[in-house]
């Protein structure tokens, strides 16, 4: 299964680099490089990086010279084609590189390190994502993992069986922006939790009974 092209969403952080045969001509169409200093210090602690574009609530980015461009819902190659079209009046054969910087997924449940992960690229499989979370614990239900995906503003729910080789051809094998993976606990975990709760309950009751016995003894002494 080939990875699906990512679509741009509100809140995405994009880096867009315009290059061409004439380095001077492309300068006005690139955001400036920025560096960061430690708080309360004049020391620069990071090398200069390209200032990113943030897709606003209206689905726009503000591009130098050109102005506002609506990008929400477009694939990366569609945004690149749109920018090339708008730049054609200014540049000859521009080369545009676009990257989503905040591609992230959330992994919850029976994994070693649950949480939200910002991933280094946009072609990440569900197996790789679980690797970032330290893989499933021994209590994870491998044949019924829940994946929640935001599809055109609606939540889409799918169950995934990691024991089935069909997973490699599944449309959910490659993750998309803001996917949520939930690994449910198996029966062994549920029984373990029930046992722990029962032990805790017995311990609490025992403590209460012991405390009551001590108080009664003290009252009798008086």
Q: What class has domain 104-183?
A: alpha beta
Q: Where in the chain is the domain with CATH 3.10.560.10?
A: 104-183
Locate all alpha helices (DSSP H) within 15-164, ordered by sequence.
Answer: 23-26, 76-87, 126-132
Mean pLDDT of the chain: 82
Structure tokens belonging to residue 171:
């449309």
Per-block average pLDDT, block size 10, for the chain (222 residues)?
71 91 91 66 61 92 95 92 94 91 91 90 87 92 91 82 88 89 80 55 62 59 56
- What CATH architecture does domain 13-100 belong to? 2-Layer Sandwich (3.30)
CB 34 within 8 A of CB 105: no
Q: Where in the chain is the domain with CATH 3.30.1950.10?
A: 13-100
CB 76 within 8 A of CB 98: yes
Degrees to nearest 5, angle at CA 38 with 35 and 42: 80
pTM for the whole structure? 0.65
64 CA to centre of own chain: 29
pLDDT tens digit sequence for 25-78: 999 999 887 765 555 555 555 566 778 999 999 999 999 999 999 999 898 899
Structure tokens belonging to residue 15:
């880096």
Question: 176: Cβ–Cβ under 8 A, 6 or more apart, which residues?
Answer: 4, 6, 149
What is the enclosing helix (H) or strand (E) of 132?
helix 126-132
């Amino acid at each position: 299964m080939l990875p699906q092209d990512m679509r741009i969403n509100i809140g995405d952080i994009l880096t867009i680099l315009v290059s061409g045969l004439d380095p001077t001509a492309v300068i006005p169409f690139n955001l400036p490089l920025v560096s960061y200093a430690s708080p309360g210090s004049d020391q620069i602690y990071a090398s200069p990086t390209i200032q990113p574009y943030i897709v606003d609530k209206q689905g726009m980015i503000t591009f130098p010279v050109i102005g506002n461009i609506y990008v929400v819902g477009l694939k990366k190659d569609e945004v690149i084609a749109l920018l090339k079209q708008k730049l054609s009046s200014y540049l000859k054969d521009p080369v545009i590189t676009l990257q989503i910087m905040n591609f992230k997924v959330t992994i919850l449940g029976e994994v070693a390190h649950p949480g939200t992960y910002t991933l280094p690229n946009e072609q990440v499989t569900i197996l790789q994502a679980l690797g970032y979370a330290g893989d499933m614990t021994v209590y994870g239900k491998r044949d019924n993992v829940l994946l929640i995906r935001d599809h055109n503003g609606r939540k889409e729910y799918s169950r995934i069986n990691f024991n089935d080789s069909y997973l490699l051809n599944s449309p959910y094998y490659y993750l998309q922006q803001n996917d949520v993976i939930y690994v449910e606990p198996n029966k062994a975990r549920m029984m373990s939790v029930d046992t722990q709760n029962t032990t805790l309950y017995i311990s609490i009751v025992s403590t209460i009974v012991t405390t009551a016995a001590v108080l009664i003894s003290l009252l009798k002494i008086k």
